[in-house]
Amino acid sequence: MSGKTKIMERKGKDLYERLYLVEVFKGMAVTFGHFISNFLDNSKLYVRHYPEQKPEITARWRGRHRLTKHEDGTMKCVACFMCQTNCPAKCIMIEAGERVDGRTEKMPVRFDIDLLECIYCGYCVEACPMDAIRMDTGIFSVTGDKRSSFVMTLNDLLATPGAFTEEEYKKGGA
């Protein structure tokens, strides 16, 4: 197949096209149009006056963490390190020890979660084979005045109650 190659000249953009002025002004017109329409008729805007109006939190909400207990009051966590291993943010620190309550499993002697590093993905809840860790506290506003107040220890995690019943939690999903 012999053919003659035809060389085409590429037409470059002129200065007018390279500045994108038309597109910039089109974008500004859209933005200004939204501003004017919301300024003149703000009845379509939805504003929640937090903290006077609290948002509704469902059982699917991933809030602050807590550790669950058995019916007899012993903690369900067996220090298997599944949550720590599965955490993409590496914000969970567990140290395992022997159980003092007579069960055959291990138990955590230290269980810390750094809430400033946590991305609240819920992978720790999904990874736990004992259903020991949950994010169903209903707490969405975490405040503190120093970094150490954002590290939840074992006692903090055990003392935090759940905001939903077992049926609501199972129905809503983790």
Residues annotated in the binding site for [4Fe-4S] cluster, as ranges? 77, 80, 83, 87, 118, 121, 124, 128
Residues annotated in the binding site, as ranges? 77, 80, 83, 87, 118, 121, 124, 128
DSSP annotation string for 43-56: GG-----TTTSPPP
DSSP annotation string for 97-136: EE-SSS-SSEEEEEEEEETTT-----HHHHH-TT--EE--
> 16-42 burial by CB neighbour count: b if 16+ within 10 A, else e?
eeeeeeeeeeeeeeeeeeeeeeeeeee
> 58-76 burial by CB neighbour count: b if 16+ within 10 A, else e?
ebebbbbbbbbeeeeeebe
